[in-house]
Structure 1
Amino acid sequence: MSRESDTFVLLPLSVDSELSVSVKPSPHNPTGLAAEVPVNPKRSAAIAKLRTSGNDAYKKKQFQDACRIYSLGIDMALARPAWEPSGLVKDELYLLYANRSQAFMAIGNWPEGLADAEASIDCKKVGNPKAHWRKGKCLKEMGRLEEARDALELGLEYGGDDSDLKSLYKEVQEALEKRR
């Protein structure tokens, strides 16, 4: 049985000479007005609950459980129907990936932490200083100092005036100087 939030209606679009897009009237959309895209609020609530549960497990230092719970949230966000707004999916994913990155870092799993930090940054570059910091920290811990420096520079460019980013950048710069 199909629910309204589980259906997709293809609307006929037209593009005029000025590249303006409009929806043509059709049997499913007699007015020709753009329809709101349905979002399943239960899925959104479940994803938010998984993120909160993962945060609770992390606070209790149950890092493996936190990783597992964040993974469930990531899977649920990625399973959203294709017609739901991609911005919504990215907003959910950047937080989940960033949090799972931190949980991986807490158990010393630097490669997985790095992969999740990068995924978080891919979802949201600007205004995501924690993910940039986590990427730099993972690279530093893996001994990839030049890459860490470059990642932190990018983070400072996108993340603004974050004190944690600046502090880690300084640490990496000092480590690079000692290496020379």
Structure 2
Amino acid sequence: MQARIDADFKSVDLAVGGPSTAFAFCNTHKLEKCKQCNVDFTALNRVSKILVTNPTLRCPPPPTVVQQKLSQAVANMKDEGNNLYKLKKTREALSKYNMAASIAVQRPAWESAAILREELSTVVSNRSAALLDLGDYLGALVDAETVISVRRQWPKGHFRKAKALVALGRIEEAKDAISLGLQFEPNNTVSHSHAQVDLCLTSCFRSSADTCLS
């Protein structure tokens, strides 16, 4: 085993910050991620930051241990956004969704990725709806694409994408998005008809603040 470790060992010229930061950088350019030096300490520094800000944490706990306070903070901020959205205070709701997303991505790297995917996709999906209402159709599309990349088999991400594409006048692409989303509907048959797609497309032209959030 030691021989294999020695064979794979590669020295890296790095610089380390003080005790209060304990971050690693490339020694030449003092960058966390440096293309010229071909190093990326982003993940390492993220773990380092968590350990520095939690001095009682001697080592990462098992992945089954979840920070309930963080999950509750995400849920509370998302719910505040949903309530504001339903009251037509869309810009204020957007701010809450931004805050919820920022909290969600702070989840430690050693915790289950499934929790992060579910929390982040739900918040970003709602943010997509808010951006759509505010007329930022491209932003709504980017958020919908993010939801799909994080949680591909969740139909709502595809329908969010379809709504944004309809707003952008890209109807055929919207139909494709709906068609793909229908494949992930649990009650949908494998072979869905054009009528189903057209029906969902028609619903994309309607807005319902009370039912579109998660």
Q: Which TM-score applies when normalising by structure 2?
A: 0.60
What displacement does 1:171 show? 7.8
Partner of 1:120: 147
Residue 63 and residue 7 in structure 1: after superposition, are their counterparts in 2 closer, same or farther (change >3 A)?
farther
What displacement does 1:111 show? 0.7
For 1:121-136, list aligned pairs within 5 A: 121-126=148-153, 128-136=154-162
Partner of 1:159, secondary structure, is coil
Partner of 1:43: 70
Partner of 1:63: 90
What displacement does 1:74 show? 0.7
Determine the C-alpha separation between the residues in 2 that align with 1:155 and 1:142. Answer: 19
Residue 99 and residue 2 in structure 1: after superposition, are their counterparts in 2 closer, same or farther (change >3 A)?
same
Partner of 1:84: 111
What do the CA deviations read for 1:67-100 (whole angstroms, capped 9, x no partner)? 1111111111111111111000001011101111
What displacement does 1:129 show? 2.8
Amino acid at match of 1:167: L
Partner of 2:199: 167
Q: Relative to total residues, which structure has the larger helix share, 1 or 2? A: 1
Gaps of at least 5 residues in structure 1 are 10-34, 173-180
Determine the C-alpha separation between the residues in 1 that align with 2:132 and 2:170. Answer: 16
For 1:150-165, list aligned pairs within 5 A: 150-160=176-186
RMSD: 2.6
Residue 59 and residue 3 in structure 1: after superposition, are their counterparts in 2 closer, same or farther (change >3 A)?
farther
**Across the two proteins, how many residue pairs are aligned to each other?**
145
* Alignment pair present for 1:149 and 2:175: yes
Determine the C-alpha separation between the residues in 2 that align with 1:55 and 1:170. Answer: 24
Determine the C-alpha separation between the residues in 2 that align with 1:3 and 1:43. Answer: 18
Partner of 2:136: 109
What displacement does 1:150 show? 1.2
What displacement does 1:130 show? 2.7
What displacement does 1:158 show? 1.7
Moved more, 157-166 or 89-98: 157-166
Tell me which of 77, 80, 83 is aligned to 1:53.
Answer: 80
Determine the C-alpha separation between the residues in 2 that align with 1:134 and 1:36. Answer: 31
Contact 1:132 1:155 in 2 (8 A): yes
Tell me which of 73, 76, 84 is aligned to 2:100.
Answer: 73
Residue 44 and residue 164 in structure 1: after superposition, are their counterparts in 2 closer, same or farther (change >3 A)?
farther
Partner of 1:82, secondary structure, is coil
Determine the C-alpha separation between the residues in 2 that align with 1:40 and 1:3. Answer: 15
Partner of 1:83, secondary structure, is coil
Percent identical pairs in the alignment equals 32
Partner of 1:51, secondary structure, is helix
Determine the C-alpha separation between the residues in 2 that align with 1:86 and 1:36. Answer: 9
Partner of 1:2: 55
